[in-house]
Homo-oligomer: A and B are copies of this chain.
């Protein structure tokens, strides 16, 4: 981050500022603070419109929540983004870097020298550092590591050792612990000596002298119970305990099902090692669902909206290449039947219908199954029932839509045999789609792979090539 020093540069900055402030104003990017009382919207907007200068903008940024600053940075084209980033106070860099998307974080880190990055790393907790670590230069991680006290170093090592989809990666270390043999009165006095409690402290963790988790004391119970009661008599011993190596996905399900705000993380010996809080879980759910949507569309990852062209290409080419291969195969299937098409050119016009509807129907089936697998609603016993059902749905769909399509073919080409072939081909391709649509995700799941990833490409490949083959094959047999 370089600051503007000569007048020329700061003039440019002023122009920038004007544009940026207008943008912020027009597009309500300052809404973050809209409903707070101390700084009503009106006042904020006035400040922006009437005093469009650097100082004012900086002042505004200082008062914004780090998540709001992150949001503004994400919505800005690169040039404006870096200008805003320059205005952010250095001591807030860390909390803001934690909030921005991976793609945008990369662009921000690229402008910072190693001294600045080291300063940022110094502002963060072990679990936060672990989140940033993949984006930081190795040498800086090592430096930071050396500078940490022993206990923090262990925490960082632990936090960095978990894969992204493990509970360990969601975990933080801000646990408040109490002993079971003290009275609530003592607990209350102990808490009052603290400056503040960690965010999302909805329960205190009750441990013994060996750090084994004995129970949890919900803060709400602490407040309503008799102060003379012992912790042990008030605490809950039925509680959700997570392990650092549990799948984050399962932890998220536990949070959703039991409406948790925080949950204890214990190691194999049931020693308390940390906790997971609902905000980390919510971020995880959001990321998970977004990567699902992105994957379905063939994007490897979230893209910075204003990424350079070559980055976008890199993000998108795999999927296009895979689809090209399946398209080539489908093309060769058609190639085999070129003689038939030459004799009856109507086949060329009708064949995409059979393939297309097969693909749509197959994708419907696959989405159903993938969802059921994700929610743990499928097991071998019910899979059979499901198979029967999907085939029945496909058969009915095939007959109904096949007839519609057959009618369409008849109206255009006035040939009953052609229209019957069309109906039959549609029915068969929909049946194929339903069978493969159930088999693909179940097989992927059985192989321990993510059933969502790639199953949509596969079904389309099958229904395209299969649809062309069925339709042109039937036509060759019955119409030639």
In the complex, which range does the number of interface residues on chain A fall in? 35 or more
Q: How far is the CB of A181 from chain B (nearest CB, A)?
A: 18
In the complex, are the beta carbons of A375 and B74 less than 8 A apart? yes
In the complex, are the beta carbons of B393 and A312 less than 8 A apart? yes
In the complex, are the beta carbons of A71 and B278 less than 8 A apart? no
Specify how many copies of this chain sit in the oligomer: 2
CA distance A459 to B371 in the complex (A): 25
Which residues of A277-335 are within 8 A (CB) of B?
Answer: 278-279, 281-283, 285-286, 289-290, 292-294, 296-299, 302-303, 305-307, 309, 312-313, 316-317, 319-320, 323-324, 327-328, 330-332, 334-335
Report if A446 contacts B (CB, 8 A): no
Contacts of A341 in B (CB 8 A): 341, 345, 348
Chain B CB within 10 Å — which of A241, A366, A389 has the most?
A389
Given contacts A256-B286, A278-B282, A328-B353, contact A303 B368 (CB under 8 A): yes
Q: How far is the CB of A273 from chain B (nearest CB, A)?
A: 14
Contacts of A32 in B (CB 8 A): 257
Identify which of B33, B200, B225, B351 contacts A261 (C-beta below 8 A). B200
In the complex, are the beta carbons of B320 and A67 less than 8 A apart? no
Which residues of A97-131 are within 8 A (CB) of B?
Answer: 99
Which of A8-16, A36-44, A49-57 faces chain B? A36-44
In the complex, are the beta carbons of B224 and A191 less than 8 A apart? yes
Please name the residue on chain B nearest to A326 by beta carbon: B356
In the complex, are the beta carbons of B278 and A324 less than 8 A apart? no
Majority DSSP secondary structure for residues of A touching B:
helix
A51-70: contact bitstring with B at CB < 8 Å (1 yes, 0 no)?
00000000000000101100
Report 18 cross-chain contacts, Cβ distance below 8 Å, ordered by A residue.
A23-B381, A28-B376, A65-B257, A75-B377, A196-B220, A219-B219, A278-B278, A289-B290, A289-B293, A293-B371, A299-B364, A302-B371, A312-B393, A313-B393, A320-B360, A323-B356, A327-B357, A338-B348
